[in-house]
Amino acid sequence: MIDENGFIKPDAEETEQLDISTIAEGSVTPEAPPDVQGYGTPLPKTFPRTLSQSEGRFPPAVSAYDAPIPPSQPAAKPSNPGRVFLVWGLIIGLLLGSVLGGILGNYVVMSNPGTFPWARTVSTTYPGTTSSGITIVTTEEQAVENAVKIASPAVVQINITSVSQNPFGFSYGQQEGLGSGFIITSDGYVLTNNHVVENATKITVVLKDGREFRGQVVGTDATSDVAVVKISGTNLPTVELGDSSTLSVGQKVIAIGNPYGLSQTVTTGVISALERNVQASQTETLVGVVQTDAAINPGNSGGPLVDLSGRVVGMNTMIYQNAQGLGFSVSVNTVRKVYDAIIKNGKVTWPALGIQGATLTTSIVDQYNLKASQGVYVVQITSGSGAEVAGLKAGDVITAIDDKPMTTIDGVLGYIRSKNVGDTVQVVVDRSGSTKTFAVTLKALGQ
C-alpha cells in the first residue's frame, strides 16, 4: 500500500510484527520476519539511513519493496485546426478594424472642421513655388507658424525723431516715435506708412536680428498713406508681396509688428471686409482698404498683414479708437502701385473721375424723384475735370463703369483708383429715366 508521500506502506499484518520501541526518530527499523517455512533464509535486520537536511535526499528503498509508481500522465488531446483558424481570424480582424477605423475617423474629422476645429486644414503654396507645384496641406496652426517663420525676418521696427511744432507752426523741441515696416528687396527698400515717417529728421531701422541701419525717405504718398524708405545693406531678408484681389472675407490673416515697442508681435484674425473707404483725416480718405479683426495697436503702423503662405496682402495703417476688432490695412495692390510709381517717377498721381457723389438711397430717390433705384447720385461736377468735359451733369445717377455695375460711391472710387491718369472709362448714367453713356478721360486728382 502506497502512502501520501509515495512510499510503500506495509499491510496491517506486517505492521503488527514491528517493534515500536526500536523505531528511532525520523526512521523506521523493520523487524525481520520470523522464519516461515517455505520462505527461505530470514531477512537480516537493516537500518536504512535517515533523510538528512544537509544531504537533501530520501533514504534508499527497503529491500523487497517495489519503487513507488509514478502518477500517470494525461493523454494528449488531438489538435483542433478549426479553433486555430478562428483565433487567427479574430486577431487579423482586430488589426484590420483598427486600421480602417483610424482611416475613417481621420476622414470624418478632417471633413468636418466646424465640428472638430483643432483639425482644420489649409492648402498653401509658399513663396518660391509655383501654383502648379506640390500643394502643401497642413493644420491651420502649423500654417500660421510657417507663415510667421517666412515673413517675420523681413519685418522691421522703425524708430523716428521728429520736430514738434505748436499750433502756430513754430518748432519747440524734438519728439520720438516708432512704427513698423517690411523689407521687399535684398538691397534695402523698406515699405511703411507715410504717417510713420512724416516730418522725421532721423530714421533708424532695426531688423529682427538686432542690426540697425539709418533710413532715408525715398518718397511718400499721403493719399494712400504709403512711404518708401531705403537702407544700405546687401543680402537682407525680404518678404514677398501677394495679390489682394484674390482675398475673400473670412480668410485667415496674420499681423506682425512692434506695438508699443514690443518687437515681432504676432496677432491673428480674419478679413472682415474688403474695399472699405475710410476717412483717415479731414482731407484724406483711404480707398479700398482691407478690414480685419487681427489686433492692431500703436506701433503696428506700417507692418505687414500676411496670409497663410507668408505673403503680404496689406499694410496695417489705422484702427478705430475705443473699438475692438476694427483694424484697417492698405491693400497690397495699392502698396505695390505706390512703390512702383515712387521708384519710377519719385511721386504718385492718382486718377480722378471729377465728381462728388453719394450712394443712392430711398430718401434721395424720393427727394429728387429719380427713376433709378440703385447707383451713385452725382451731387457736383468738378470744374475742368474729365467728367465735365465728357458731359456728365449733377443729378445724373451712375449705374455702371466699363460694364461693371456701380451701386456705391465706394465702388466708384475704388474702381477709378485702380486706373491710371490718362485712361478712358465708359460711364453709364441714368438721366431722368434715359440711359446715356459717356467716355471720360481720367485726370490727375486735384487737377
Q: Could you please report the per-residue DSSP string of 322-387?
A: T-SS-EEEEEHHHHHHHHHHHHHHSS---EE--EEEEE--HHHHHHHT-S-SSSEEEEEE-TTSHH
Contact by Cβ (8 Å): 305, 193: no
Q: What pLDDT, on the 0 to 100 scale, is given for residue 190?
A: 98
Q: What is the DSSP string of 76-93?
A: PPPP-HHHHHHHHHHHHH
Catalytic member of 272, 301, 309, 331: 301
Q: What pLDDT, on the 0 to 100 scale, is given for residue 377?
A: 96
Q: What pLDDT, on the 0 to 100 scale, is given for residue 79?
A: 58
- Smallest Cα–Cα separation from 365: which of 399, 406, 410, 397? 397
293 is catalytic: no
CB atoms within 10 A of CB 189: 18
3-class DSSP state for residue 98?
A: helix
CA distance 25 to 218: 119
Q: What is the DSSP code (8-state) at residue 74? A: P
- The alpha carbon dihedral of 411, 415, 421, 426 has a sign of negative
Integer Rg of the chain from CA:
48
CA distance 93 to 12: 66
CB atoms within 10 A of CB 347: 11
Q: What pLDDT, on the 0 to 100 scale, is given for residue 125?
A: 62
Q: What pLDDT, on the 0 to 100 scale, is given for residue 110?
A: 61
Q: CB within 8 A of 19, min separation 6: which ones?
A: 29, 31
Is pTM beyond 0.75? Reply is no
3-class DSSP state for residue 160?
A: strand
- 351-444 fold: Pdz3 Domain (2.30.42)
Query: Which three three-digit cell numbers place residue 370?
Result: 429719380
Q: What pLDDT, on the 0 to 100 scale, is given for residue 202?
A: 95
DSSP lists the bridge partners of residue 62 as none
Q: What pLDDT, on the 0 to 100 scale, is given for residue 14?
A: 47
Contact by Cβ (8 Å): 290, 247: yes
Q: What pLDDT, on the 0 to 100 scale, is given for residue 207?
A: 97
Q: What is the pLDDT along the chain (447 residues), one digit of tens a residue?
A: 555 555 555 554 444 444 444 444 444 444 444 444 444 444 444 434 444 444 444 444 444 444 555 555 555 555 567 777 788 888 888 888 888 888 877 666 666 655 555 455 555 566 655 444 445 656 888 899 999 999 999 999 999 998 877 666 666 678 899 999 999 999 999 999 999 999 899 999 999 999 999 999 999 999 999 999 999 999 999 999 999 999 999 999 999 999 999 999 999 999 999 988 888 777 778 988 999 999 999 999 999 999 999 999 999 999 988 888 899 999 999 999 999 999 999 999 999 999 999 999 999 999 999 999 999 999 999 999 999 999 999 999 999 999 999 999 989 998 998 899 999 999 999 999 999 999 999 999 875
Query: Which three three-digit cell numbers place residue 178?
Result: 516708432
CA distance 240 to 234: 17
Domain boundaries, the chain: 1-70, 81-118, 151-345, 351-444
Catalytic member of 221, 225, 307, 430: 225
Q: What pLDDT, on the 0 to 100 scale, is given for residue 239?
A: 97
3-class DSSP state for residue 212?
A: strand
CATH number of 151-345: 2.40.10.120
Q: Find the helix or strand (DSSP H, E) in which 275 lies.
A: strand 265-279
301 is catalytic: yes
Contact by Cβ (8 Å): 403, 425: no
331 is catalytic: no
3-class DSSP state for residue 232?
A: coil
Q: What pLDDT, on the 0 to 100 scale, is given for residue 47?
A: 39
Query: Which three three-digit cell numbers place residue 150?
Result: 517666412
Identity of residue 432: S
CA distance 316 to 181: 9
Report how far apart, in Å, the C-alpha atoms of 332 and of each of 291, 336, 371 are.
13, 6, 38
Catalytic member of 195, 263, 272, 331: 195
CA distance 291 to 228: 23
Q: What pLDDT, on the 0 to 100 scale, is given for residue 281?
A: 76
